Amino acid sequence: MTAGDLGAPLDSWGRPARCADCPQEDVRRDGRCDPDRACVPARRDARISDLFAHDALLAGRSLGSPYAEVRALAARHASLFQLSRLMADPAAEVRAVLADRLPPARARDLRHDPDRRVRRALVERLDGGDLVAFLGDADPDIRCAAARRAPAPALVRALGDSDGAVRQEVARRVGLGHLATMAGDPDPAVRLLVAERLPAERLTVLVRDPDLRVRLAVCARIAHFYLDELLEDPAADVRALALRRLIEEVR
C-alpha cells in the first residue's frame, strides 16, 4: 500500500491532520513519523500501525489513548511489561490483543471475559487443564477449538455437546473407552468418525446404521466373522464390499 492509497490524513473529526496540532512533539522532532505513512493523529489504522511497528516507545505512550482502535494497535507493539494495565480495558478489541500477546500464565486471567473474541484468542494460547473450562463455553466455536486441544480425558464432558461440530472433534480424540457411547449420535458425521476409530471387533453396534457412509466404513474395517450380516445390507455397495472382503479372506 502506498501513501496515496491511504488518502489525505484526517483527524478524529474528519479534518485534515496538522503536524502543528500533534502532541507527539519529540517524535516529530526526531523524524520518526510521517503524516502520509506513520501518524497517530491521522486516525487511520495503516498509518498508526506502521508508526507503532517502528517505535515501541511511542506505542507504550499511546496505550492510554481515548480511542480503542489506537489502544489496540499500540498494544500490539508496546512492551509486554506495559500491557497488564489494559486487562480491564472497556474495549474487547484491546483485551483480545492482550489475550494474544501476554504470556499464557498472565493471559489466563481473561478466561472469563464476556466477549467471545477475547476468549477465542485465549483458547488458542492456553494448554492442558487451562482449556477444560472452555469445553463449557457458551460459544460453540470456542468449545470446538477447546475440544481440538484439551486433554483427551477431559473430553468426556463434551460427549453430549449440543453442537455437532464440537462432537465431531470429541469423536476424533476421545479415548476408545468412551467412543462407543457416540455410536448413537444423531449426527452421521460423528458416527462416521466413530466407525473409523472403534476397534474392529466392536463395530457391530454400527452394522445397521441408517447412513450409507457409516455402513461402508464399518464394512471396510469390521472383523471378518461379522461380514455375513453385511451381505444382506440394503445397499449394493455395502454388499459388494462385504463379498469382496470375504473372498479375499479365503484366498
The residue ranking higher by pLDDT, 154 or 47, is: 154
* 5-16 residue pLDDT tens: 445 555 544 456
Neighbours of 242 (CB within 10 A): 25
Q: Which helix (H) or strand (E) holds 38?
A: none
Going by pLDDT thresholds of 50, 70 and 90, the confidence category of residue 96 is very high
pLDDT of residue 3: 43
**Is 187 or 37 the better-scoring residue by pLDDT?**
187
Q: Please, what is the average pLDDT of the chain?
A: 89
pLDDT at 46: 65
pLDDT of residue 183: 98
Residue 75 in contact with residue 48, Cβ under 8 Å? no
Q: Where are the domains of the chain?
A: 1-78, 175-251
Assign 10 to helix, strand or coil.
strand
Q: Which CATH class is domain 175-251?
A: mainly alpha
CA distance 105 to 97: 15
Cα 13 to Cα 9, 117, 232: the distances in Å are 11, 28, 76
What's the average model confidence in pLDDT over 108-129? 97
3-state SS, residue 188: helix
pTM confidence score: 0.79
Q: Please give the residue that has the higher pLDDT: either 73 or 32.
A: 73
145-190 per-position pLDDT tens digit? 999 999 999 999 999 999 999 999 999 999 999 999 999 999 999 9
**Residue 1: pLDDT above 50?**
no
Q: What is the per-residue pLDDT across 53-86, written as a single tens digit (0 to 9) for each?
A: 999 999 999 999 999 999 999 999 999 999 999 9
**What are the start-end ranges of the H helices in 19-101?**
25-29, 45-53, 56-61, 68-77, 92-101
Per-residue pLDDT band for 49 (boundaries 50, 70, 90) equals: confident
User: Is pLDDT at 36 greater than 60 in this prediction?
Assistant: no
Q: Which residue has the higher pLDDT, 199 or 28?
A: 199
Percent of the chain surpassing pLDDT 90: 78
